[in-house]
Amino acid sequence: MALKVGVVGCGNISDIYLKNSSGFKEFEIVACADLEMEKAVKLSKTYGIAKVLTVEEITSSDEADIILNLTIPKSHAKVSFQAIEKGKHVYSEKPFAISFEDGKRVVQKAKQNNVIVCSAPDTFLGGSIQLAGELIEDGVIGKLVGATALMMSRGPESWHPNPEFFYQKGGGPMYDMGPYYLTALVSLMGPVSRVAGSAHISFPERTITSPGKHGEKITVQVPTHVSGLLDFHNGATASITTSFDVSATRTPFIEIYGENGTISLPDPNQFNQPLLVKKYGEDTWKECQPSGKVDVNMRGIGLVDMADAIEKGRTARADGSKALHVLEIMHGIHRSSEEGKHYIMESMCKKPLLLKDKSNLKA
């Protein structure tokens, strides 16, 4: 039986969720809400959603079993907490919250109310990262040694219609794009024990060049070039840099290093791109393509897995403990930069099980 889903937040990201939802049998979107009611009405008409409700109505009514929280980052924890208080399961867009304390409150409240809370990104359930996980588990590259992760860009103000929030509290390259990279690393290498970080603001003011607000200025409130060092419980280490200040780059997205070889992963914001493998002693890289379409965008498969987990009484792969752990890593990197010392991790999570059924990646 398909679980009923209510969408809160009808902005940019909602379209891909609604577009993909028709191909999933595990859930049905039955209502939507937004603080700007005209956005909810428009989404309802575009995708044939049965009801348009207020945020208060959708989180408290019997219309939905799960709230799909697609609000802006600073509202994620508030909306999730509100829905959980009403006994709803919640699947939230990333980041899980904009503060570690808020994230802990959400997880604790979910446990108290006996509901499940999960969070994007679900790209780690895509073919690329799943295939990398299989290669690691099969021992292709041997014992894990370390990893690098690099997200280099010049920021979203050239294309996003409302880029201001990227430079406010809860924004910045680490909180915006870091979840993709860190979720991939934790999914492949397990939990992190401590982190160190260095972060700064390169340009105190940004100019919007996207249509609509072209020429408007943004005062930057958060670090825009952020580097971190991660120590994993399994003994491996990793480095990550996320930046909105880089004009050009030739760096890889993610590389995983083992004693017997290396896996070079594609953009973790994608689902099914090919990856490269080179074993120790070999001269060339081998391209490995996951099964299914290369350009598939299956946002929503995390919600599919969550709905299946609720029905079967198992742990969802995108569960709140992993989302909270990723949030704390980002929090710890910034905290370490501010305090000039290592940050010791408080949270813990398990490496999610690899997918057995990859049929949703072939749509």
Mean pLDDT in residue range 294-304: 94
Q: Tell me, what's the pLDDT at 361?
A: 56
Confidence of residue 359 (pLDDT cuts 50, 70, 90): low
For the chain, the structural domain boundaries read 3-119, 125-293+327-344
Q: What are phi and psi of 80, to 5 degrees?
A: -60, -45
On the question of pLDDT at 262 being above 50, the answer is yes
Q: Lowest-pLDDT range, 184-198, 260-274, 288-302?
A: 288-302
Confidence of residue 291 (pLDDT cuts 50, 70, 90): confident
Q: Mind listing the pLDDT tens digit for each residue in 84-143?
A: 999 999 999 999 999 999 999 999 999 999 999 999 999 999 999 999 999 999 999 999
Say which residues have a Cβ less than 8 Å from residue 108's Cβ, sequence separation at least 6: none
Please state, in angstroms and rounded to a whole number, the distance separating the CA atoms of residues 52 and 45: 10
HSE value, Cβ hemisphere, 13 Å, CA-based, for 353: 9
Mean pLDDT in residue range 177-194: 98
Q: With 0-12 CB in 10 A as exposed, 13-18 as middle and 19+ as buried, what is 51?
A: middle
For 270, other C-beta atoms within 10 Å of its C-beta total 19
* Residue 293 identity (one-letter amino acid): K
Q: Tell me, what's the pLDDT at 305?
A: 97
Q: Are 318 and 325 in contact (CB under 8 A)?
A: no
Nearest to 67 by CA among 101, 94, 93: 93
Average pLDDT, the chain: 95
Please give the CATH number for the structural domain made up of 3-119: 3.40.50.720
Tell me the whole-structure pTM to 2 decimals: 0.95
Mean pLDDT in residue range 243-260: 97
On the question of pLDDT at 358 being above 70, the answer is no
Q: Mind listing the pLDDT tens digit for each residue in 3-18?
A: 999 999 999 899 999 9
On the question of pLDDT at 215 being above 70, the answer is yes
Classified by CATH at the fold level, domain 125-293+327-344 comes out as Dihydrodipicolinate Reductase; domain 2 (3.30.360)
Q: Lowest-pLDDT range, 40-49, 175-184, 353-362?
A: 353-362
On the question of pLDDT at 357 being above 90, the answer is no
Q: Tell me, what's the pLDDT at 363?
A: 45
